[in-house]
Structures are given as C-alpha cells and as structure tokens.
Homo-oligomer: A and B are copies of this chain.
C-alpha cells in the first residue's frame, strides 16, 4: 500500500491528501511532525536527505519527494493533469510559481505566526514576507480575472497546489477579502466533489496565530 509521510498542518502535505481524496486512493498516512524534528532523524534522512515532508514510499521501497512532483505522478493519466504539452507545461509553470514566488512568503508567514515563539526574532521578517506574499496573491488575482482555474480548462493539480497555502493565508496575516477573484476561486475549489478540508490545527498553534493578530 502507498505510504505518505506528512505533517497534517502543512499545506505541502495537504496537497497530497486533497488529490488522494479525489482519486479515492487507499494509503497509509504516517504523521511526521516536521516542526519538531521528525524529518531530521537518521532514519528519515536516509530516505530523504533533504529532510522535508511530504514524502511517499511504495511497497517496493521506492521514494518520491517534493509535493508538486508527487501530485504530477499521482495525477498522470487522470483528468487532474490533462491537456496537451503546452497546457501541461503551463500547469507546471504555476506550480513552479507556487514553490518560488508564493510558498516562501505565504506559507512561511503562517509558520512564523503559528509555530514560532511569540518573542521569536523571526517575527521581524513578517512585514517583508507579507509584502512579497501580497505580490503573489495579486498575480493570482490577475490570472483569475480571465480564467476559472490554474490547471487549464478544468480544476486539477495546479489548483490543489495553489489552494494548499492560499486558503489558510489569513493565518499568516494576509487579508484574502482584498482578492475577490482569489476568494471566489477558493470557494470553487471547496465545491469540487471529493474535496478534503485541511484538519484543524493544534490549539497551541491556533493560540499563537490569534496572538499574532494583536
């Protein structure tokens, strides 16, 4: 059976849970708390020298890492990674945008707000992260003014990749209400059959996020 090593509050890990839900694919989820060192053990690093989640393992021991690459593999041959070579490359283009211009600001701002101590010096990074994250949201807003989805003609893996950290951007101090097209797209994603919501985060993280708003 497919094994997924994932940390449930991580958007990168949640991407896999969303797609596996749509595909109705049986799997074993091994909760791997990357915020508390679970990806830095010798056993984990032997499987993934880059020490990140998510990671998948097949029964024959084969390993794959990098959330968006795993999405591509799961979705190969399905409606979630469809189109001709140009359309699939455009879907990949948005996935690289997500990892380079979106996640490093929007996900990192959320991580600092909810997982770093309230007196962490990393909190000084928040204004810059929010400025860059707002730039990414503006690029998405512009695309959505003329397109329903990021994956092509229909919903697919690029929408999943971008939904993962956009839907919880408020945790990092972003005001999604400013982005009407993004907000409407988030609702469209939530309405797709088989949609799996992110599990609630732990009370301690929710409390830190609440304190970060003050």
Residues of chain A having any CB pair with chain B under 8 Å: 49-50, 52, 62, 64-70, 72-73, 76-77, 85-86, 88-90, 92-97, 99-101, 103-104, 138-139, 142-143
Contacts and interface: CB of A to CB of B under 8 A. Distances in A.
Contacts of A73: 85-86, 89
A73 B91 CA distance: 11
Contact of A139 (B49, B85, B99): B49
How many copies of this chain does the complex contain?
2
A3 to B, nearest CB: 16
A214 to B, nearest CB: 29
Given A49-B139, A76-B85, A76-B89, A96 B99 contact: yes
Nearest to A143: B49
Contacts of A94: 66
Contacts of A90: 64, 69
B49 A69 contact: no
A93 B76 contact: no
B69 A139 contact: no
A65 B93 contact: yes
Given A99-B100, A142-B49, A68 B92 contact: yes
A68 B96 contact: yes
